[in-house]
Chains A and B, each alone.
Chain A
Amino acid sequence: MNSKTVTNVMLAFYMAIFFGFLFGPLIVMGVSAFNTSTYPQVYPIEGFTLLWFEKLLNDRDMVYGLKNSLWIGMWVVVLSVPLGLAGAMMMSQIYSKARSFYYVIVVSPVLTPGVIIGISTVVFWGDLTTTTNSRFLYHGLFMTVLGQSSFISAYCMLMFMSRLNKFDRAQEEAGLDLGASQTQVFFHILLPFLRPAIFSSAVLAFLSSFENYNTTTFAILADKTLTTVLAGRVRQGTTPAISALAVLIIAVTVVGAIIYEIVKRREDRERQARLDAAHAAELRELESIEKATHHA
């Protein structure tokens, strides 16, 4: 064997271990969702069943938690995307000596453990609502949305910052020069430019919110979301119904990923078509110039 084959064999072995570690547990879990055995297992297969899925759908708490999770996710998107955008726009404008200080503040939630964010949110709103007599705001869903948004906004901000870096200031000036107000420039030129970032940060925000546990478990108080219900179930004992939930989540994400890929491919194709058109126009143009100069 030469050294190249040795390297390749080692590489293959490493990859097998790596992806085995990554996917093994998920595959085991996935298969166990269809096994009749009441303990989630792949071996031996005792029989094929969809019973666990049925159990899942009849689980009141789960369905209730799911509704809350979706509701929270929606509000997190509504809050985090605008906050992240404002944070990113402020970053480039803030008085330069304050900028690093500001940066530390708004990025710190990304690096703060989720439990601490959850705890501090509850403590703050608990105190605030008591002293200001607005106890109705001391509400699990409300605080979960705020707690999650504090760091999800920072994710969004980082995405907006990288998109804004690509913004050509001349676009803004062109708008102004044509008579638009700053506000019109914002809505007609900047926002459309940011649309891809808005879309992807919304997706990111929703998914981060949906699967969050550490912050939620504190901020939600006595209420439930899908993840807190799930955590409770998992602690009580293992049942294949949980595997079934995982299978459903995987299925939904796979479908989502496929749709995303299809849309992306179509966009790529359209873009390519436009570039081809430009190229053809370029050629026609040269030809017509050629002709014009000949006649002259």
Chain B
Amino acid sequence: MMNEMNFKMPASLNELALNLDNADEKTYLISGGTDLIIKLREKKIYSGTIIDLKGIQELNYIRQIEQTICIGANTTFTEMIHSEILIKNAPCLVQAAEQIGSTQIRNAATIGGNIANAFAGADAIPALIAMGVKVKMMNAKGEFFLKDIDEVVIGSGKNSLHKDEVITEVIAPVLGHGYKSFFGKVGSRERVTIAKLNMAVVVKNNHETGVIEDARVVLGSLGPKAFRSDLVEIELVGKYITDSLQTEFEKALITQIDISIAGRSSRPYKREAVKALSEDAFSNLFGSPAWRCNNEK
């Protein structure tokens, strides 16, 4: 028993809770597969218990319940891309899902797995932080609890879950009237973090006054963990949408990069790369003439 690999296939959350009892550091949860399989091979793990979450049908859904969107942990990125609910209410999550890996990876990888693995370049995380999502988890007693995405993701491949806890759902608010969202990235698909930068933005624009009332700007790949940039957000809030604001936005992003990765060899590349990203963000969020400000005073 000690030297072999066990495999558990719970078909329901109840069964999963039973499987999580006695979970220890040799218990491995698998959903999409991608990350765990690499780990099993790299770390030469030959014994322990693998719990396959993929057979739990009740964790596969995207539902809107009034002002919240609930995404089951087993939902794949391909399923997110095709979800009318997300396309309408959380475009940045769809944009992030579209830019993850390749078709094969999007068909297999799940939102729950992406959060649990929390590696620095995990593309879904910045968009999830910008959306202000909560993560629902279950423990071995079958009890559910909620945490902010920021508390769950520690970064560099670590999460704050205990061994007997599992992510079951992601809960996103429906963004209210006047809100828009964006996700973009530059750099290669390969796992070379040096050549990667991603950003998610959620803004609220007051249609009557033309002023930005709320802004959340999250940058990924500038440290072990994606984070909200206060100094970039401050640059946007209370401003009219103009071309000069775009310049200020870009400058603030460059300042943030200088602060976050001072002295790193990736800094010159990322300073350049962020220019394209900020342009994309601006045209995506404020591109239509109705959004650009005509009544600048």
Q: Do A and B come from one complex?
A: no
Q: Which residues of B contact A (CB under 8 A)?
A: none
Q: Which residues of A contact B (CB under 8 A)?
A: none
